[in-house]
Amino acid sequence: MVDARNREDDAVRTASALSRYCMHLLAFAPNLLPGHSSESESMLDRTLDEASQLLKKAKTLESRYEELMRNNSTQHDSDADGDHEASIVKQGARLARRLIVDIPETKLRWKVLSDFWAEMMLYVSPSDDVRAHLEALARGGEFITHIWALLTHAGVLKRGPAGPKDVV
Domain segments of the chain as ranges: 4-124, 126-168
* Confidence grade of residue 3 (pLDDT, cut at 50, 70, 90): low
Evaluate if residue 166 carries a pLDDT over 50.
no
Distance CA 168, CA 155 (A): 5
Whether the model clears a pTM of 0.85, i.e. scores above it, the answer is no
- Cα gap 168→166, rounded to integer Å: 7
What is the rounded distance in angstroms from the CA atom of residue 126 to the CA atom of residue 95?
26
Task: Kindly state the average pLDDT of the residues 120-137.
Answer: 90
Residues of the chain with pLDDT > 70, as a percent, come to 82
Q: Which of the four pLDDT bands, split at 50, 70 and 90, describes residue 118? A: very high
